[in-house]
C-alpha cells in the first residue's frame, strides 16, 4: 500500500539527483578550464625563457664581437659528397705529359731493338705528299727519257733520208733502210703526257694544306725527336731525314731532270738543223723522178719525210711548253724532291711512316673528411710502317702502352 507522503518524495529525489549531476559537471568544466589555463601559462613561461636565453646569447655574442672586432658573415652551405666518381678528359696535366713522353720513349726503344738491320742506313720519315710527288717525278723522268729517244730517232731518220736522197741524185747504190716511220706514232701521246706530268708535279707543291688539331698529347715531331735521340743512345749509325721540316739537300749532286732537259734540247737542235736541208732535196728529186719507178720511190720518201716533220713539230711544241713550266721557281721546288728521290734509290735507304696518338684523363675521388684524390691515366699508341726504296712494305706493327698513377 502506498502512502501519499511516499508518492510525493519521488519527484523531489529526482530533482535532487539532477542538481547533484549538474553541479558535478560544472565543477569538472571549471577544473578543465583551470588545467588549460595552467598549460597556457606553462607554454608562455617556456617561450619567455627561450626569448630570455636568445636575448642573453645575442648580448653575449654582441659583447664578444665588440671585444674581438669580428663581423657577422653569411653562412655557406657545405656540399656533401654523393659517393660518385668524377672523371675528366682532355685536361693536360704535367703528370700526364710526363707519362706519355716516357711511354713513347719506351716504345721507340722497343722498336729500335727490333731493327737490327738498320745499322748504317738512311731513314726518311714518310710524308704522303712527298710519296705522291716522287711518283710523279719519276714518271716525268721516264717520259722525258722516252721523248729524248724519240728525238734522237727522228734525227737519225732524217739523216737516213738525206743520205738516200743524195745517193739517188748521184746515182750511187745505197742500202735501203726499212720501217722508217716505226716508233714515231706514239710521239704525240708521249709529248702531251710529259706536259701533263710537269703540270701535275708542280701542282702538288701549290695545293692548300689544311692542318687540323687533334685531341692528342703527342705529335709526329715528338716521335721523330725521340727516335733520333734513342738511336744515338743505342749506338745505331742512322742518317735520319725529316723532309716535312727540312728538305733533303746535298751539295755536289747532279740533277737528272736538268740533265735530261739539256740532252733533249741538244738532240732537238740537231734534228731541226738536219731537217732544214729537206725541202731543197725534195725539190731536186722532182726532176730526178722522171720514170714511174722513181716517182713511186719519191712518193714513199716524201710520205716518210712528212711523218718525221710532224713528229718533230710535236717535239718542238712540247719543248716550248716545258720551257714555260720549267720556271726558276718550279725548278727550285723540284730540286729537293729530286735529291729525296735519289736518296731513296739507295739500297740502304728506307721510308719510315710514323703515326703516334695519345690520350690523357684524370679522375677525382671526393670524401667529406679527406682530401680529394686525383688519379691520372695515360695511353700511347705507335703505328709504324717501314718501306724499301722500291715501295715494298717489309715491316709494320702497332705498339701500345698504358699507365695509371696518382
Q: What are the pLDDT tens digits along the chain (406 aa)?
A: 444 545 556 777 777 777 777 777 777 888 778 777 877 877 887 777 777 766 766 666 566 556 545 455 444 444 545 555 444 444 566 777 788 888 888 888 888 887 767 777 888 888 888 888 888 888 888 888 888 888 898 899 989 888 888 888 888 766 555 444 445 545 655 556 665 666 566 565 544 433 333 356 788 898 999 999 998 888 888 889 998 888 887 777 778 888 888 888 899 899 999 999 888 888 888 888 888 888 898 899 999 899 888 888 888 888 888 777 766 667 667 788 888 888 888 888 888 988 888 877 777 776 666 666 777 778 888 888 998 878 889 888 888 888 876 6
| Grid cell for residue 222 | 715528338
**Domain endpoint, select from 47, 72, 97:** 72
Does residue 182 share a domain with residue 55? Answer: no
Spatial separation of the C-alpha atoms in residues 223 and 225, rounded to whole Å: 5
Spatial separation of the C-alpha atoms in residues 289 and 312, rounded to whole Å: 26
At 406 the pLDDT is: 66
Does residue 241 share a domain with residue 105? Answer: yes
**Domain endpoint, select from 72, 104, 125:** 72
**Domain endpoint, select from 10, 40, 72:** 72
Does residue 92 share a domain with residue 63? Answer: no
Whether 221 maps to a domain, the answer reads yes
- 289-331 pLDDT tens trace: 888 888 898 899 999 899 888 888 888 888 888 777 766 667 6
Does residue 183 share a domain with residue 321? Answer: yes
Does residue 94 share a domain with residue 58? Answer: no
Whether 78 maps to a domain, the answer reads no
Residues forming beta bridges with residue 364, ordered by sequence position: 86, 374
Spatial separation of the C-alpha atoms in residues 221 and 204, rounded to whole Å: 23
Whether 83 maps to a domain, the answer reads no
Whether 277 maps to a domain, the answer reads yes
Residues ≥6 apart with Cβ < 8 Å to 222: 101, 104, 356
- The residue whose grid cell reads 672523371 is 87
Query: How many domains, in total, are found in the chain?
Result: 2
CB count within 10 Å of CB 135 equals 15
Does residue 119 share a domain with residue 30? Answer: no
Does residue 347 share a domain with residue 212? Answer: yes
Whether 177 maps to a domain, the answer reads yes
Instruction: Indicate left, alpha or beta for 252 from its phi (over 0: left) and psi (-120 to 50: alpha).
Output: left
Whether 79 maps to a domain, the answer reads no
- The residue whose grid cell reads 720511190 is 297
Whether 17 maps to a domain, the answer reads yes
pTM for this prediction:
0.58
Does residue 225 share a domain with residue 134? Answer: yes
Does residue 109 share a domain with residue 32? Answer: no
Does residue 96 share a domain with residue 60? Answer: no
Whether 270 maps to a domain, the answer reads yes
Does residue 56 share a domain with residue 2? Answer: yes
Does residue 365 share a domain with residue 273? Answer: yes
Q: What range does the domain containing 62 cover?
A: 1-72
Amino acid at each position: 500500500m502506498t502512502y501519499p507522503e511516499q508518492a510525493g518524495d519521488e519527484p523531489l529525489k529526482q530533482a535532487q539527483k539532477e542538481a547533484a549531476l549538474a553541479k558535478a559537471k560544472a565543477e569538472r568544466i571549471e577544473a578543465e578550464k583551470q588545467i588549460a589555463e595552467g598549460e597556457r601559462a606553462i607554454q608562455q613561461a617556456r617561450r619567455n625563457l627561450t626569448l630570455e636565453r636568445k636575448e642573453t646569447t645575442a648580448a653575449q655574442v654582441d659583447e664578444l664581437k665588440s671585444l674581438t672586432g669580428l663581423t657577422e658573415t653569411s653562412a655557406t652551405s657545405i656540399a656533401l659528397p654523393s659517393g660518385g666518381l668524377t672523371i675528366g678528359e682532355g685536361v693536360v696535366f704535367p703528370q700526364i705529359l710526363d707519362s706519355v713522353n716516357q711511354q713513347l720513349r719506351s716504345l721507340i726503344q722497343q722498336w729500335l731493338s727490333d731493327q737490327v738491320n738498320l745499322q748504317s742506313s738512311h731513314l726518311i720519315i714518310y710524308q704522303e705528299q712527298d710519296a705522291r710527288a716522287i711518283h710523279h717525278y719519276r714518271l716525268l723522268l721516264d717520259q722525258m727519257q722516252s721523248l729524248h729517244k724519240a728525238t734522237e730517232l727522228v734525227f737519225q731518220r732524217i739523216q737516213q733520208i738525206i743520205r738516200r736522197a743524195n745517193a739517188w741524185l748521184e746515182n750511187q747504190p745505197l742500202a735501203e733502210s726499212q720501217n722508217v716511220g716505226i716508233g714515231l706514232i706514239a710521239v704525240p701521246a708521249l709529248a702531251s703526257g710529259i706536259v701533263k706530268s710537269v703540270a701535275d708535279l708542280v701542282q702538288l707543291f701549290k695545293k692548300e694544306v689544311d692542318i687540323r688539331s687533334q685531341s692528342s698529347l703527342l705529335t709526329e715531331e715528338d716521335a721523330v725527336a725521340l727516335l733520333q735521340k734513342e738511336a744515338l743512345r743505342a749506338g745505331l749509325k742512322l742518317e735520319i731525314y725529316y723532309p716535312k721540316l727540312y728538305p733533303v739537300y746535298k751539295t755536289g749532286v747532279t740533277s737528272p731532270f736538268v740533265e735530261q732537259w739539256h740532252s733533249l734540247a741538244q738532240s732537238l737542235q740537231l734534228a731541226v738543223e738536219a731537217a732544214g736541208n729537206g725541202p731543197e732535196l725534195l725539190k731536186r728529186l722532182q726532176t730526178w723522178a722522171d720514170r714511174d719507178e722513181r716517182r713511186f720511190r719519191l712518193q714513199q720518201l716524201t710520205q716518210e719525210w712528212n711523218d718525221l716533220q710532224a713528229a718533230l713539230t710535236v717535239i718542238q711544241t712540247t719543248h716550248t711548253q716545258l720551257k714555260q713550266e720549267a720556271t726558276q721557281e718550279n725548278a727550285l721546288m723540284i730540286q729537293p724532291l729530286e735529291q729525296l728521290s735519289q736518296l731513296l734509290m739507295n739500297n740502304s735507304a728506307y721510308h719510315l711512316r710514323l703515326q703516334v696518338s695519345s690520350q690523357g684523363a684524370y679522375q677525382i675521388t671526393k670524401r667529406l673528411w679527406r682530401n680529394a684524390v686525383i688519379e691520372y691515366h695515360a695511353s700511347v699508341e705507335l703505328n709504324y710502317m717501314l718501306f724499301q726504296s722500291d715501295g715494298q712494305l717489309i715491316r709494320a706493327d702497332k705498339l701500345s702502352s698504358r699507365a695509371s698513377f696518382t
